[in-house]
Amino acid sequence: MMNNKVIKVSNFIDGQWDDYNENTITNVNPATLEHVSTVNIAAEADVQRAVESSKIAFKEWSSFPPPKRGEILYKIAEELKKRKQELSELMTLEMGKVITESEGEVQEAIDMAYYMGGEGRRLTGEVVPSELPNKMAMAVREPLGVIGAISAFNFPIAVPSWKIFPSLIIGNTVVWKPSPNTSATAAAFVKCMVDAGLPKGVINLIVGGDGDVGHTLVTHPDISLVSFTGSTHIGQKVYQSCASNHKQVSLELGGKNGIIVLEDADLPLAARAIAWGAFGTTGQRCTSTSRVIVQKSVLEELTPLLLKEVSLLKIGNGIDHEVNVGPLINSEAIKRVEDYVALAKKEGIEIHCGGNKIGEEGYFFEPTVIGPVSPSSKYATEEIFGPILSIISVDTFEEAIEVNNSVDYGLSSAIFTRDLSKAMKAVRRVDTGIVYINHSTSGAEIQMPFGGTKNTGNGKREAGQAALDTFCEWKTIYIDYSGDLQRAQIDVDFS
Ligand code: UN1
């Protein structure tokens, strides 16, 4: 267990922790409201120092052979493994995630470090035939330079690891601005990287900064690519800033993920998966299930099964291994879910369970199931980012697909059916970046592309092989050893 000492967090720039000063914000444990960390508020000048440091470090880091960079990633994986418990407990204290999920999250970063470490001896390019004789065509991956990574509170280690480790193996350096809410966790993660031998300046950490600090990072001329995970609202601003500064950008934004339950589905299994998808991480995943799109003929059978599963969830302080649902991150999150419930009550929508804040201490809210709601209602279209699940009833398979695809977001969806043909037709027709058959909308694995369509993203992916594409620049190389001037498209003889 962690002791209850307040953790002081400052920037990590150019291989050193900044001197701690009195300009701070305070993070409390959302389960107990106990003071967990005090975070220095970064200034715009700190971003300048950090980018400068990463720019200098890039020269050497990018010149290392990738297997050497891979060795360091393996060492980072080992370091994370050693400190898995400590990091998990800190994460739970700082942002409320239940400890089993925190452990899973640190594991995700360990897996990502090993996976990308392995890329050090792979990092494949392309060698393809030329259309001309005595000529070769190939493409290799080049690093982009300094990456600006901005991450959210809900996955303070795993999601940053999807940004940082692929960036590093390719030879980029990184300036990372985590959510101010999870700064101590971020600092502990960076400490693992440093203790594993990551050279100075390869990772720089900017903590506690507000929107202006974020803006300075996003618009900095020496940042080549911005990788942002957060709300669609802020993500669109980041997108615009990157466009006006001609910067590359990778966006992982909101979700409004649906589970389709067809009439031939294994309903008890669907009920378990829905409860986990909707209330795991207290509904604060971008992959959280927030809509159940169920065929009318099984609505009455599914609803009590689902409510039974929800009633089994143990709510409380996530540090207890028995707890399934922890608190929300802060009082604004409580207010947001309360407003949705108040609206549902006003509109006469049935609240099957939950709907209330729990107790005075901590930001706890009951897992809430409402419906049926209209597919175009606020509950069914807006990202709530909390424990509210809406049920939508549909008549047919066709209607289910249509409703699933009717929202602005496109991260994850799922279908429950025993009919392979329907499952596969649904898989091909849903318009999300991720789709599950007979599983909830959460549970992405690091070796697969992660990302979404429509307002969820911008076509980039941040895990698996696809991450290597996101964080590299392709360089195409032609080698003409004919000793002659051979013109492509002109001197080609296919007669
Ligand atoms: C996120 O919510 O930002 O699939 C990421 C999942 C996790 C990742 C979620 N492995 O839910």
The protein residue with its alpha carbon nearest to ligand 1, atom 11, reads 442
Q: How far apart are the C-alpha atoms of 127 and 122, rounded to whole Å? A: 14
Q: Is 1's pLDDT higher than 70?
A: no
Does the beta carbon of 287 sit less than 6 angstroms from any atom of ligand 1?
Answer: yes
Q: From residue 358, how far is each of 94, 276, 280, 366, 389 by CA, in Å? A: 19, 20, 17, 7, 18
Per residue in 246-285, pLDDT tens? 999 999 999 999 999 999 999 999 999 999 999 999 999 9
Q: Are 185 and 39 in contact (CB under 8 A)?
A: no
Per residue in 199-233, pLDDT tens? 999 999 999 988 999 999 999 999 999 999 999 99
Secondary element (H or E) of residue 39: strand 35-40
Secondary element (H or E) of residue 454: strand 453-454
Q: From residue 266, how far is each of 28, 179, 269 by CA, in Å? A: 42, 39, 6
Does the beta carbon of 442 sit less than 6 angstroms from any atom of ligand 1?
Answer: yes
Atom in ligand 1 nearest the alpha carbon of residue 229: 3
Q: Which residues are marked as active site?
A: 252, 286
Atom in ligand 1 nearest the alpha carbon of residue 434: 4
DSSP-derived 3-state class of residue 465:
helix
Q: Are 172 and 147 in contact (CB under 8 A)?
A: yes
Q: What's the number of CA atoms in the CB half-sphere (13 Å) around residue 9?
A: 33
Q: How far apart are the C-alpha atoms of 165 and 174, rounded to whole Å? A: 10
Cα 20 to ligand 1 centre (Å): 33
The residue whose two tokens read 């009951």 is 366
Does the beta carbon of 154 sit less than 6 angstroms from any atom of ligand 1?
Answer: yes
Atom in ligand 1 nearest the alpha carbon of residue 152: 3
Does the beta carbon of 286 sit less than 6 angstroms from any atom of ligand 1?
Answer: yes
CA dihedral 55, 60, 61, 62 (to 10 degrees): 90
Per residue in 96-151, pLDDT tens? 999 999 999 999 999 999 999 999 999 999 999 999 999 999 999 999 999 999 99
Atom in ligand 1 nearest the alpha carbon of residue 445: 10
Our separate counts of H helices and E strands in the chain read 15, 24
Atom in ligand 1 nearest the alpha carbon of residue 443: 4
Cα 101 to ligand 1 centre (Å): 11
What is the structure's pLDDT at 4?
Answer: 63
Does the beta carbon of 155 sit less than 6 angstroms from any atom of ligand 1?
Answer: yes
Per residue in 64-100, pLDDT tens? 999 999 999 999 999 999 999 999 999 999 999 999 9
The protein residue with its alpha carbon nearest to ligand 1, atom 10, reads 444
Pairing of β 412-416 and β 368-370: unpaired
83 DSSP 8-state letter: T
Residue (of 362, 316, 327, 284) closest to 34 by Cα position: 362
Q: Is 2's pLDDT higher than 90?
A: no
Q: Is 490's pLDDT higher than 80?
A: yes
Give residues with Cβ within 8 angstroms of 386, minimum separation 6.
282, 283, 284, 328, 333, 336, 337, 340, 365
Query: In the chain, where are the structural domains located?
Result: 7-253+457-476, 257-437
Per residue in 368-415, pLDDT tens? 999 999 999 999 999 999 999 999 999 999 999 999 999 999 999 999
Q: Are 240 and 162 in contact (CB under 8 A)?
A: no
Q: Is the model more confident about 19 or about 1?
A: 19
Range list of H helices, 196-252: 211-219, 232-244
Q: What share of the chain is helix, strand, coil (3-state, %, to 5)?
A: 40, 20, 40
Cα 287 to ligand 1 centre (Å): 6
User: Where does 7-253+457-476 sit in CATH, by number?
Assistant: 3.40.605.10
Whole-structure pTM value: 0.97
Mutate to test the pocket of ligand 1, among 107, 153, 157, 287 (most ligand atoms within 8 A of CB): 287
Q: Are 230 and 286 in contact (CB under 8 A)?
A: no
Q: What percent of the chain has pLDDT over 90?
A: 98
The protein residue with its alpha carbon nearest to ligand 1, atom 3, reads 286
Secondary element (H or E) of residue 388: strand 388-394
Per residue in 304-349, pLDDT tens? 999 999 999 999 999 999 999 999 999 999 999 999 999 999 999 9
Does the beta carbon of 443 sit less than 6 angstroms from any atom of ligand 1?
Answer: yes
What is the structure's pLDDT at 209?
Answer: 87
Give residues with Cβ within 8 angstroms of 57, minimum separation 6.
173, 199, 200, 201, 202
CATH architecture of 257-437: 3-Layer(aba) Sandwich (3.40)
Q: Is 40's pLDDT higher than 90?
A: yes
Q: What is the mean pLDDT of the chain?
A: 97
Cα 475 to ligand 1 centre (Å): 32
Q: Is 160's pLDDT higher than 50?
A: yes
Q: Is 3's pLDDT higher than 70?
A: no
What is the structure's pLDDT at 210?
Answer: 87
